[in-house]
Amino acid sequence: MTATKATLLNTTFKKEVFEGLSAYPKYLSSKYFYDKKGDRLFQEIMAMPEYYLTGCEFQILSTYTETIGELFRDRQNGLDLIELGAGDGKKTKVLLKYMAENNFNFVYKPIDISENAVELLSNNLAQEMPILNVDAEVGEYFEVLERLKGFNKRKKVIMVLGSNIGNLKHPKAIEFLSKLKDAMLPDDLLFMGFDQKKEPQKILNAYNDDTGITEAFNKNVLTRINRELGGNFDLNKFKHWEVYDPETGTAKSFLVATKAMEVSIEALKLTVNFDQWETIHTEISQKYDDKIVGWLAEEAGLKIETSFTDKKEYYKDYVFRKV
């Protein structure tokens, strides 16, 4: 990369947008859906009847609050509860309330890529549970993994809810789990949600609602490029498209160009040409079963301690230890 281009691509956002839209086939990362508007749209998605994931995991945490809480507890030294991708904390609050009311000695450390989400959650918890010790941080998963190793003075529990791991292909998921394992001590726990394989139409409906909220959420990455990088995407010339492969358990989201067009992005000095029906791949949402989760864990040097599921067995939270 020339010095000029290196200067031009001086943020991760710029660099990844440049790489994704210069590639064939084109792609953009779903992590860039999230800003104030994106956070609000995701709240709306989680409230949709079609989007079963949030309700299922909320049911798990509400049904097994005490069991999960006591699994986390360390009576001698207390613990650090570290949540990656904390979002609005709606589900976690069930657990936090139990822990706060039952004399747990702990610090809650929510981490999220969205500065807006972290700020809202911190303010919200300060009002709802003022006795809670909260140490929030803005950051990406892979960025914070190294820093997690510094939490080694007492037990830590790492939580990843919402099947966030589903946004990673299996090799990347194994890498992520391996790095979490490397940051763990023998007494530490990893508590992670995995959306399960199920009726394919049920999965498709969760990412392709009739109201168009998911479409707006996916298109928010183009809105951000327009606003932050001086792009001139016409959002009306793209449609959201979802596919699901029941064999691999992979749901994929695309933005499809309905017309041939040329898009310029001023901050990148980049012109992007689209053929009619050309795609931008924006997200994967991987679905699992016990066999796949067991394989991922084994590859990463983890073992499944136990798991919790909702009544319909649509979703599971697994508890892992380091082997």
Q: What is the pLDDT of residues 33-46, one digit of tens each?
A: 999 999 999 999 99
Q: Which residues contact 258 (CB under 8 A, 6 or more apart)?
A: 237, 238, 239, 276, 277
Is the alpha carbon torsion for 22, 24, 29, 35 positive or negative? positive
> What is each CA distance from 24 to 16, 19, 172, 187, in whole angstroms?
14, 10, 20, 45
- The DSSP secondary structure of 258-281, one letter per residue, reads SS-EEEEEGGGTEEEEE-TT-EEE
Which parts of the chain fold into alpha helices (H)? Answer: 3-8, 12-22, 36-47, 52-63, 65-72, 90-101, 115-128, 141-148, 170-182, 200-206, 213-229, 290-300
* pLDDT reading at 299 higher than 80: yes
CA dist 27 and 16 (Å) reads 9
Q: Which residues contact 24 (CB under 8 A, 6 or more apart)?
A: none
Give mean pLDDT, residues 193-198: 98
Report, at the CATH architecture level, how domain 64-196+289-322 is classified: 3-Layer(aba) Sandwich (3.40)
Q: Cα 83–89–94 angle (5° rounding)? A: 100
Residue 69: what pLDDT?
A: 98
* pLDDT reading at 1 higher than 50: no
Q: Between 281 and 2, whose confidence is greater?
A: 281
Residue 114: what pLDDT?
A: 85
CATH 3.40.50.150-classified regions of the chain? 64-196+289-322
- Rg of the chain on CA atoms, in Å: 20
Helix H or strand E segment including 323:
none
CA dist 21 and 254 (Å) reads 13
Residue 5: what pLDDT?
A: 54
> What is each CA distance from 85 to 29, 58, 167, 295, in whole angstroms?
15, 16, 12, 23
> Which backbone phi and psi does 79 adopt, to 5 degrees?
-150, 165
Average pLDDT, the chain: 94
Q: What DSSP character marks residue 197? A: P
Give mean pLDDT, residues 190-201: 98
The model's pTM: 0.90
Q: What percent of the chain has pLDDT over 70?
A: 97
Q: What DSSP character marks residue 245? A: E
The three-class DSSP label of residue 52 is helix
Confidence band, pLDDT 50/70/90 cuts, at residue 141: confident
Which parts of 73-168 fold into alpha helices (H)? Answer: 90-101, 115-128, 141-148
* pLDDT reading at 144 higher than 90: no
Give mean pLDDT, residues 91-97: 95
